[in-house]
Structure 1
Amino acid sequence: MPVYWTITPKAPGTPPGAFALAAGDGAEYRLSLMPFVSMGPKGFVRIIAISAAFLTLPLLAVLGTPVLWGLLPFAGLALWALWYALSRNSAERHALREDLCLTKERIEITRTNPRKPAQHWHANPYWVRVKLAEKDGVIENYLTLEGNGRVVELGAFLSPEERAELYAKLSQALRHLR
């Protein structure tokens, strides 16, 4: 799951765990959300190689004829378009992230978008409400935070199961800080 919690400081003498903190210890919860990247560099190379092999199969039939020179630019253009689309998608997936910082006094969310400026939201955690719309709308397990006069979606790129798990942990963290 592309959800990473960092909690500081740990209370002395408590067992390790995500929420093993003593009351009033000045805890700070940091959460980083990133989309799951399903294809790594090896998969990228394999897809390009397989596509190049399949694009050369029709060219073998016209090998040694002038028709080859007419079809070769289109095959190259198709391969380049696939390479460009996959590399741009990968770059945008790596650039997209949401960072949440939760302390007793303040909750802040910063969403970093690939081709747009970063979006910021903050509120007092005492007044923030975490809501999970399980099956009401189009999106299953729609996770939102309400506070400071705004409703902010959290983890739009996560799966419904990951959003439900995030809801439970975030609710627990907010209860701990109240």
Structure 2
Amino acid sequence: MTLATVESGFNGEPAVFTAELKPHRSLGPIGFRVLMGLSVAVTLINVVFFLATNALPVAMFFGLDLALLYGAFWLNYRAARAREIVRLSRNQLDIHKVTPAGFVRKSQYNPFWARFDVARHAEFGITDMAVVERARRTTLGKFLGPEERDSFAKAFTAALADIKRRV
């Protein structure tokens, strides 16, 4: 299953709560281009200097550094394609975890039996969030920051409690 089929995989009921959790990346596409442009300029200046002084190995290492910097950002932006889609309707809780490659792992829960567990640390805030039903457990929002976890936990807890109250 791919991301394109995620939306069609939900049952026909209207959603009471829907959230798409995405990893945050502080450096946008323009900032990335500026950073890489400056890195390429500095690298080229150093490579030309070291080639002129017959220090070929040093020049090659500058090129290797630039390639490693680009590779690290490529991996970082690839990891940012991960998503978690949480959809709560009156009779079903669907969680779709989309990997950076686009593959989807789907978990379904009965909202009346599902429990939302939140682990808190006094200094760091929420450290773990998971939907639990009997022996099954699906962890949510591992890549979120503390404020985002807190915001999601409040909203999702309220929506789940609202569903259970409407019985």
Question: Which of 141, 148, 162 does residue 148 from structure 2 map onto?
Answer: 162
Ranges in structure 1 where 5+ consecutive residues have no aligned partner: 1-24
Aligned to 1:87: 74
Distance, in Å, in 1 between the alignment partners of 2:46 and 2:14 is 67
Q: Is residue 2:21 matched to residue 1:33? A: yes
**Given the alignment, which residue of 111, 114, 121 partners 1:135?**
121
**What is the match of residue 97 of structure 1?**
83
Structure 2, unmatched stretches of 5+, are 1-12
Three-state SS of the structure 1 residue aligned to 2:40 is: helix
Give the TM-score of the pair, scaled to structure 2. 0.76
Instruction: Determine which structure has greater relative contact order: mean sequence separation of CA pairs < 8 Å that are 6+ residues apart, divided by chain length.
Output: 2
Partners of 2:161 and 2:74 lie apart in 1 by 42
Indicate the structure (1 or 2) with the bigger Cα radius of gyration.
1
Structure 2 CA distance for partners of 1:118 and 1:30, relative to 1, 3 Å: same
In the alignment, the residues of structure 2 paired with residue 140 and residue 151 of structure 1 have an alpha-carbon distance, to the nearest angstrom, of: 21
The residue type equivalent to 1:46 in the other structure is V
- The number of equivalent residue pairs is 151
Considering only aligned residues, what root-mean-square deviation do their CA atoms show, in Å? Answer: 2.7
Residue 36 of structure 1: CA displacement? 0.8
Quote the Cα distance in structure 1 between the aligned partners of 2:18 and 2:116: 16
Greater mean deviation of Cα atoms: 31-40 or 83-92: 83-92
Give % identity.
Answer: 26
Displacement of 1:157: 0.9
Instruction: Say whether residues 1:75 and 2:62 are aligned partners.
Output: yes
- Report the alpha carbon displacement of residue 33 of structure 1 after superposing the two structures with TM: 0.6
Give the distance between the partners of 1:97 and 1:121, measured in 2 at CA: 14
User: What is the aligned partner in structure 1 of residue 34 from structure 2?
Assistant: 46
> Which amino acid in structure 1 is aligned with residue 73 of structure 2?
L
- After superposition, the C-alpha distances for 1:151-170 in whole angstroms (9 at most, x for unaligned) are 22111111122212211111
Q: 1:123 aligns with which of 109, 122, 129?
A: 109
